[in-house]
Structure 1
């Protein structure tokens, strides 16, 4: 019996059928048409759908393994990097063992790009790509589920509410992560549920308690189990924050109305915005496997946070937002002028929130040093 069938990524023998379902999905085909064909043609579905389907069959018709899927994804990602970043850089990967499976725990700034860029770096360094944890809140649309599971994503059942149902789902997730690592498959998971909206990157101890559920079953001490997982913190830094305005809108709405309820399709819009907007220089810093400071979930959270905060790459905009620009960049520099221009384009009521989003990493580093 396949005890992880409802949450795991697709296996090779399931790829061809999943691709066929994607090509047959009108919503998916229409999305491709919208972003790749002239508007007048995309709107004429009796023409656009056959054109898109023929193109998809040419490109994906012979794909029948997860590796082939990921090699196709690399081409798309290279295009995104070329079109929407000035550069993507990495540090720390050269210090990791190419033959070791790791549990990468990172800060979370973009829904899909964060793990995609982790995978891109691993691929460039001839390391195996990761299995990616995604919340089931993202899987309300069939084609999203297909795409994610084709690309080595596994499902975190956030929708479970009853205590017994939650414990069962979390125990299954904990065991799946452990078994994946034991089988040589690295894992990526965000340090907490949802993206950082205010720039305050902080690991949720509840995530680490979930990891320990399987360790408890094995009757292992927390620190012993953590060392076995080979946890590597990853710090992701975007020069221009993806979806900064929509993040600020969410914070603003919560502040003035008490809660924020996402509209239908909002996550998909955020994914598309993350893919298409200019991100400038992006840096990913890979830390070292956690060996100490991990006696409790709270201790481990602090240890992970320390690595993420200390290795976070600060761009000029971070210093400018934190009012430290004079010490780092000339007030007449291109960076200052471009950042100021970006800030002026933000609605006035959201400007302070976006400024705080950029300033927070500088302030967190200062707090860490004191």
Structure 2
């Protein structure tokens, strides 16, 4: 007999009994070890790449020798997060966690600014408040390398098959995903998913109703009315705000290319580079606002999308960078103004207006 878990084997995260094997494969993966050597020990790698890789393998084998469960992986990720927060932020704050009950499965739907850090900061808030971390929705466009798949599935990520082609294949993929969300929530596992495919490169956080229609596919199959099914998902809007976005110039460059030459050609591993840039770049302060679980009656996905947008915009924490970009200088002291000017001076001249508009947009959305 096939277990419920194996019904979703294609897309689900790793289970405890799969962790040790995945770690072994990672340590044996030359591209994974090479990436660590490149980003962490670039100078040493140039002098003796082979030796550095052997030492990294030995260290990881020792460091992860007792990691045999998903929970232990999360503890390793927590150590990394603590260091990253200390070295690349001016502090991370949270609001709204008091609305959540430990042991309950929530469907967190958030604005999307950073590929890896958005769910990571959500998880940090839950972890530091003694709640279980989330299962993370991640597009298969980020899983072009075997080591990427191992890392993501070890970190409780499940796969959204964006590469599905043709209506029938897409319907099957989204139906499976919808059923997996229901299965996870019923088992008390919370989910993180972005409000739309891709990051909001212009700073305008908008929910795609197609995501919400996917949520409902399992409810529709069970012939449950839209409003009743949505209430059963414990849908929680989340607003994530960064004082400074490490990817602001890259996002502006993409938008500039699309407007000036009509297209933007993404390099093969640009998404991975964006992840590294987000993790290592300076972010200033970060705030994550958890809204209340969404109640009310919604007749369709468009109505629900509008309600989510209102909550995400209302709860978005405005930093001085947002206010200054929107021309609201009166509330900002001169030191903070100078820091923002220094940041903007690093932005290429032809991209400054776009970057300013990106930071200003949440102010306009708040109204």
Structures share a fold, TM > 0.5?
yes
43 and 166 in structure 1: CA distance in 2 versus 1, 3 angstrom threshold:
farther
Q: How far off its partner does 1:42 sit?
A: 5.2
Q: How far off its partner does 1:334 sit?
A: 1.4
Tell me the secondary structure at the aligned position of residue 91 of structure 2: strand
Q: How far off its partner does 1:293 sit?
A: 4.8
* Whole-angstrom distance in 1 between the partners of 2:46 and 2:90: 30
* Whole-angstrom distance in 2 between the partners of 1:314 and 1:151: 30
* Whole-angstrom distance in 2 between the partners of 1:195 and 1:315: 19
Query: Is 1:243 the equivalent of 2:247?
Result: yes
1:1-370 maps to which residues of 2 (within 5 A)? 1=2, 2-41=6-45, 44-326=48-330, 328-330=331-333, 333-366=334-367
Checking the alignment, whether the CA contact within 8 Å between 2:44 and 2:52 is kept in structure 1 is no
* Whole-angstrom distance in 2 between the partners of 1:229 and 1:291: 10
**Which deviations, in whole Å up to 9, do the C-alpha atoms of 1:318-344 show, x marking residues without a partner?**
010001112x113xx211001011111
Q: How far off its partner does 1:266 sit?
A: 0.5
Tell me the secondary structure at the aligned position of residue 289 of structure 2: strand
Q: Normalising to structure 2: TM-score of the pair? A: 0.97
Q: Give structure 2 stretches of 5+ with no counterpart.
A: none
* Whole-angstrom distance in 2 between the partners of 1:297 and 1:325: 38
Structure 1 runs of 4+ with >3 Å offset: 40-43
**Which deviations, in whole Å up to 9, do the C-alpha atoms of 1:34-88 show, x marking residues without a partner?**
2222513355222111100001001112211000001000000110000000000
Tell me the secondary structure at the aligned position of residue 292 of structure 1: coil
* Whole-angstrom distance in 2 between the partners of 1:224 and 1:38: 54
* Whole-angstrom distance in 2 between the partners of 1:312 and 1:27: 38
* Whole-angstrom distance in 2 between the partners of 1:293 and 1:239: 35
Checking the alignment, whether the CA contact within 8 Å between 2:99 and 2:293 is kept in structure 1 is no
Tell me the secondary structure at the aligned position of residue 249 of structure 1: helix
**Which deviations, in whole Å up to 9, do the C-alpha atoms of 1:215-245 show, x marking residues without a partner?**
0011011110000000000000000013000
Checking the alignment, whether the CA contact within 8 Å between 1:109 and 1:242 is kept in structure 2 is no
- The aligned length equals 363
C-alpha root-mean-square deviation of aligned residues, in Å? 1.0
Which segment drifts farther, 80-89 or 90-99? 90-99
Tell me the secondary structure at the aligned position of residue 325 of structure 1: coil
Checking the alignment, whether the CA contact within 8 Å between 1:42 and 1:48 is kept in structure 2 is no
Tell me the secondary structure at the aligned position of residue 115 of structure 1: helix
Tell me the secondary structure at the aligned position of residue 126 of structure 2: helix
